[in-house]
Amino acid sequence: MTLHLNLHKENFDNIASGFKKVEYREIKKYWTQRLFNKPYDTITFSNGFAKNRRQMVVEWIDTDTGLGNPHWGAPMSVNVYRLKLGKILTKNF
Domain residues of the chain, as ranges? 2-92
pLDDT reported for residue 78: 93
User: In CATH, what number does 2-92 get?
Assistant: 2.30.130.30
Q: What is the predicted pLDDT for the residue at 64? A: 96
**Any residues with CB less than 8 A from the CB of 91 and at least 6 apart, and which?**
16, 55, 56
Stated pTM of the model: 0.92
> Does position 87 have pLDDT exceeding 90, yes or no?
yes
Q: Distance between CA 80 and CA 14 in Å, rounded?
A: 19
For residue 30, the model assigns a pLDDT of 97
Contact by Cβ (8 Å): 64, 82: yes
Angle (nearest 5°) at CA 7 between 64 and 93:
120
pLDDT, residue 72, reads 85
pLDDT at 73: 84
Per-residue pLDDT tens for 20-78?
Answer: 999 999 999 999 999 998 999 999 999 988 889 999 999 999 999 999 998 888 888 99
